[in-house]
Amino acid sequence: MNVQIIEKNGKSEWVVIPFSEYKKLQEALEDAEDISERTLSHFMTFCECFIIKR
């Protein structure tokens, strides 16, 4: 990945990456959010079944 770090007062302030890399990161984040939502949904269903059956 081609990354450019821009500093301000000697500290890293900004990161510049190619747009294609940004899109890949954005898609990976959306995939992770989808997986997280499905996992939470399955967990809630499991909890509901467990509580109802007890």
pLDDT score, position 7:
96
Q: What are the residues facing 11 on neighbouring strands? A: 8
User: pLDDT tens, 19-48?
Assistant: 999 999 999 999 998 888 888 887 877 777
Q: Which two tokens stand for residue 36?
A: 């997280």
- If you ran DSSP here, which 8-state letter would residue 8 be given? E
- If you ran DSSP here, which 8-state letter would residue 17 be given? -
pLDDT band at 11 (very low <50, low <70, confident <90, very high): very high
What pTM was estimated for this model as a whole? Answer: 0.57
